[in-house]
Structure 1
């Protein structure tokens, strides 16, 4: 009996966990699994370790919780990432944009699965139960249209921003890590573009969530003025003040860079204040700020933070890609 069949026949394993070990990673017998966790998410890490270790050689390593998304892990974690076939990053903060993850992926062995900000209910329902083959086909279809020169973003909530995406190619997250060197963040599934530095101008009205431990689902809009590629003013209520404080705390102008335009395409996701479901929620877009090295840019910021806008309309070179949360291509 194949290892995949054994996993699917495990009656005490939630379907979402089965997906992580099969359709999301295509793990094979004799492959080595690494689970990375921290003091705050140890229960999730131990859960993944318990199930993965039944079928694969699995190691778990626990580190001190990072302060912010994109903060580098200890050297021991970086070394371990270079010597595994699949790494599950069950951490509080995202490691996707760290140099450790990027360099490990470039070595061409590790398949990275980000699991930051998970909760146990995600293994039972929601985005992890989606058909990821169907999602991949839709992302590939949309990506053919998700490129050009001038990108205009508007929303029901009042967003109106324009930027150049000239020379920038679509970046995919299918929600799967099936090939050596690949990286994903299931149940997120998206196609993204990196704005050309210095070209974004307008107003961004964030009315979905800001997946950060201090904010999450927004109770009132956070309004950001964007000039020449950077956020120059943040207004709103209490949550706007918290965001302003987070960014000011870096004392680094690069954290205000408009870095990413990420369109969510997993129909099973709903906005809940958790990073992966929110970023991959269908019909919404997240704006990444700070580091843009994964999106064709050259801003190496200490932060990459995503902020979500609901029910968006997207035009590229005048072509309507999405209208009020519904695909037009």
Structure 2
């Protein structure tokens, strides 16, 4: 168990630098039983800057959602009301659950009302991280946004067999970085960086091979076996692999008619993330795609689904309208 002093060090980074919590802010901290000490440390850091935070322990919902991928992610009405009436919302819970929670209605409503909202990554107080690292992630993210601006077609290839074309024409970027501004979409902090797009729903074509992590298939770390998707007209018309692929097919089949649409395309931008956890999606050198919903979070997204399941691809090459911006996981711009 980490010392409270160690946790407070990380909590101050989150509260003071990433979230810019100010005296008088209304703060709610959402947690589960595994992360209650982290929540208490965050609460202490908030008190130190002059706020009176509330901690909401929603362990039963986190447990239910972990058992059943089909169970509703929407929070109870009283918690939803607290969220939309808060200036700052912090989530410290199982990371896969927190990533999925980003797509519920109260998160979107809170953003519209100008809240600053983020999930806290694992290992608080033990991050090998400086403010310069955080600023570099922001700069790198903005550089990739500029490279993709105005593009019609993006092509992604990888050593594991991915070769897919995506249209982002007319779709604004979603910048997810460790410093959270008012009304900015929820994302993990403090290591994570990402540029995400609502891919044009009927324009994705080719083969996607998830060889990193895959949410929703019961694998907490790296996939043991890759999952291969054949995409036509934006939909996954075939899914091949071993047991992980079978689980993914079952989850999609048990959801709705839009769960097989490629809703999101995103590029990781952080040099501080590592392989093998949900945070891999924010790692430089990876791309991730999501099946399902892109209407809640992503500018221009039109696909409405109960699901939003991310899978990552490692060591990618990314071409934007024929120009390489990343080659075998290395940024070349």
Instruction: Report the CA distance between 1:211 and its aligned residue.
Output: 3.5
Instruction: Report the CA distance between 1:111 and its aligned residue.
Output: 0.6
Instruction: Report the CA distance between 1:125 and its aligned residue.
Output: 2.2
Q: Does 1:65 align with 2:61?
A: yes
How many angstroms apart in 2 are the aligned matches of 1:101 and 1:205? Answer: 30
Instruction: Name the SS for the 2:17 alignment partner.
Output: coil
- Which residue of structure 2 aligns with residue 306 of structure 1? 310
Tell me which moved more, 210-219 or 125-134.
Answer: 125-134
The Cα RMSD (Å) is: 2.4
Relative to structure 1, the CA distance from residue 191 to residue 24 in structure 2 (aligned partners, 3 Å threshold; closer, same or farther) is same
Residue-by-residue CA offset, 1:44-99 (whole Å, 9 max, x unaligned): 43453354345431101123325249821111111001222211122342321111
Q: Is the 8 A contact 1:65 1:91 kept in 2?
A: no
How many angstroms apart in 1 are the aligned matches of 2:130 and 2:118? Answer: 13
- Which residue of structure 1 aligns with residue 43 of structure 2? 49
How many angstroms apart in 1 are the aligned matches of 2:9 and 2:208? Answer: 37
For residue 219 of structure 1, the aligned residue among 221, 224, 243 is: 224
Q: Structure 2-normalised TM-score?
A: 0.86
How many angstroms apart in 2 are the aligned matches of 1:241 and 1:266? Answer: 31
Q: Is the 8 A contact 2:112 2:183 kept in 1?
A: no
Q: Structure 1-normalised TM-score?
A: 0.87
Number of residue equivalences? 313
Residue-by-residue CA offset, 1:245-304 (whole Å, 9 max, x unaligned): 222222x1211110111111110110122x2x2111111011111111232121111111
Q: Which runs of 5+ in 1 are unaligned?
A: 1-9
- Which residue of structure 1 aligns with residue 205 of structure 2? 201
Q: Is the 8 A contact 1:210 1:218 kept in 2?
A: yes
Instruction: Name the SS for the 1:197 alignment partner.
Output: coil
Residue-by-residue CA offset, 1:201-241 (whole Å, 9 max, x unaligned): 11111111114471131112111111110111111112212
- Written as runs of structure 1 = structure 2, the 5 A alignment for 1:74-113 is 74-92=76-94, 93=97, 94-108=100-114, 110-113=115-118
Instruction: Name the SS for the 2:107 alignment partner.
Output: helix
Q: Does 1:32 align with 2:6?
A: no
Instruction: Report the CA distance between 1:131 and its aligned residue.
Output: 2.3
**Higher helix fraction: Structure 1 or Structure 2?**
2
Q: Is the 8 A contact 1:78 1:100 kept in 2?
A: yes
For residue 238 of structure 1, the aligned residue among 203, 227, 243 is: 243
Q: Which runs of 5+ in 2 are unaligned?
A: none
